[in-house]
Structure 1
Amino acid sequence: MEYQPGVCNIGPAQQRRRLLLGVGSLLLAVVTVAAIVAVEWPRWTLILSLFPLYGAAMGYFQYRERFCVGFAGIGVFDVDGETRQVRDEAALAADRRRAVRLNLKSLAVGALGASVVYGASLVLV
Structure 2
Amino acid sequence: MEPEYQPGVCNIGPTQQRRRLLLGVGSLLLAALHVAAVIVVGWPRWTLLAATFPLYGAAMGYIQYRERFCVGFAGMGIFDVGDGTNQVLDEAALAADRKRAVRLNATSLAAGVAGALLIYAVAPIAF
TM-score (norm 1): 0.98
Residue 4 of structure 2: aligned partner: 2
Residue 28 of structure 1: aligned partner: 30
Q: Secondary structure at the match of 1:99?
A: helix
| Cα deviation digits, residues 52-98 of structure 1 (max 9, x gap) | 00000000000000000000000000001310000000000000000
Residue 117 of structure 1: aligned partner: 119
Q: Does 1:45 align with 2:47?
A: yes
Q: How far does residue 117 in structure 1 lie from its aligned partner after superposition?
A: 0.5
CA distance in 2, matches of 1:81, 1:20: 21
CA distance in 1, matches of 2:121, 2:99: 33
CA distance in 2, matches of 1:32, 1:81: 38
Q: Does structure 2 retain, via aligned residues, the 8 Å contact 1:25–1:53?
A: yes
CA distance in 1, matches of 2:77, 2:5: 12
Residue 91 of structure 1: aligned partner: 93
CA distance in 2, matches of 1:89, 1:124: 51
TM-score (norm 2): 0.96
Which letter does structure 1 place at the counterpart of 2:63?
F
Structure 2 unpaired stretches of 5+: none
Residue 105 of structure 1: aligned partner: 107
Give every structure 1 segment of 4 or more consecutive aligned residues whose post-TM-superposition deviation is greater than 6 Å. none
CA distance in 1, matches of 2:28, 2:12: 22
- Which of 74, 77, 98 pairs up with 2:76? 74
Identity across the alignment (%): 70
Structure 1 unpaired stretches of 5+: none
Aligned residues: 125
Q: Does structure 2 retain, via aligned residues, the 8 Å contact 1:13–1:81?
A: no
Which letter does structure 2 place at the counterpart of 1:5?
P
Q: How far does residue 124 in structure 1 lie from its aligned partner after superposition?
A: 2.7
